[in-house]
């Protein structure tokens, strides 16, 4: 009788993903999702990058399913969804549904935690990069990024995004200053996911500034 009960219990658990999911910690799942997002960023091989981000997405989805009011869970999901959409470089809106889902997770993060600086930095970056038809707004984007820098002077991503915007607006001196600071901070903090990007952005801005002069 006892063995029969155990067999039936095992069958129910296998048949119910939520039963297995309930045994997981939202915090651990969120941490795992962010770990995969970071690993994907620093990995050079495209196939490995996709694998990391897809694993991170799955972990983020599980975390959100367990705790929909966790801003960090939603942000971990956004992180992996966003990286998948820019797997080959700049953000590529190849799927409208994918883009909407990504922005939904970002907006949900900010709904739950309005002062989530990483999410604000990402939001400001999107506002700068997206065309107005998709909700882009350079003025609002720059304002958000300046706020992030005010609250978190060590932010690398906010500096890089703001530097690109200033360069596009012809403010090359300010752009180069921000990009140089971003590279120095990335190297000092050993941010392996941001340092290569900072080097690339600085080199491109230096080229643009030289052409402008």
Q: What is the pLDDT of residue 42?
A: 93
Evaluate whether residue 109 is within a structural domain: yes
- Contact between 132 and 159 (Cβ < 8 Å): no
Residue 212 lies in a domain: no
Distance from C-alpha of 29 to C-alpha of 117, rounded to nearest angstrom: 21
Domain count, the chain: 1
What is the domain extent for residue 88?
Answer: 23-113
Confidence of residue 23 (pLDDT cuts 50, 70, 90): low
Q: Does some domain include residue 46?
A: yes
- Whether residue 211 is contained in a domain is answered as no
Q: Is residue 9 part of a domain?
A: no
pLDDT of residue 57: 97
Q: Containing H/E element for 162?
A: helix 156-168
Average pLDDT, the chain: 88
What pLDDT score was predicted for residue 93? 58
Helical axes 195-212 vs 156-168, angle rounded to 10°:
20
pLDDT digits (tens, 9 = 90+) for 147-203: 999 999 999 999 999 999 999 999 999 999 999 999 999 999 999 989 999 999 999
Question: What counts of helices (H) and strands (E) characterise the chain?
Answer: 11, 0
By CB atoms closer than 10 A (0-12, 13-18, 19+), residue 152 is: middle
State pLDDT tens for residues 90-142.
Answer: 665 566 778 889 999 999 999 999 999 999 999 999 999 888 887 889 999 99
Model pLDDT for residues 29-41, shown as the tens digit of each residue: 999 999 999 999 9
Query: Does some domain include residue 48?
Result: yes
Residue 106 lies in a domain: yes
């Amino acid at each position: 009788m006892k063995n029969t009960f155990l067999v039936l219990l095992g069958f129910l658990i296998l048949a119910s993903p939520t039963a297995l999911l309930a045994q997981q910690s939202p915090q651990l799942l969120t941490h795992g999702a962010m770990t995969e997002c970071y690993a994907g960023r620093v990995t050079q091989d495209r196939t490995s990058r996709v694998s990391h981000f897809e694993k991170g997405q799955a972990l983020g989805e599980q975390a959100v399913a367990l705790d929909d009011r966790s801003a960090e869970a939603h942000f971990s999901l956004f992180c992996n969804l966003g990286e998948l959409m820019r797997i080959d470089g700049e953000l590529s809106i190849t799927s409208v549904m994918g883009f909407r889902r990504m922005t939904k997770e970002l907006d949900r993060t900010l709904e739950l935690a309005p002062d989530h600086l990483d999410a604000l930095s990402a939001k400001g970056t999107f506002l700068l990069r997206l065309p107005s038809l998709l909700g882009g707004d350079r003025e609002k984007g720059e304002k958000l990024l300046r706020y992030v820098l005010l609250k978190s002077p060590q932010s690398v991503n906010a500096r890089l995004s703001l530097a690109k915007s200033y360069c596009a607006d012809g403010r090359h001196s300010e752009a180069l200053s921000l990009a140089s600071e971003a590279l120095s901070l990335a190297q000092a903090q050993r941010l392996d996911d941001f340092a290569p990007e900072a080097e690339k952005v600085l080199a491109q801005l230096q080229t643009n500034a030289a052409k402008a002069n």
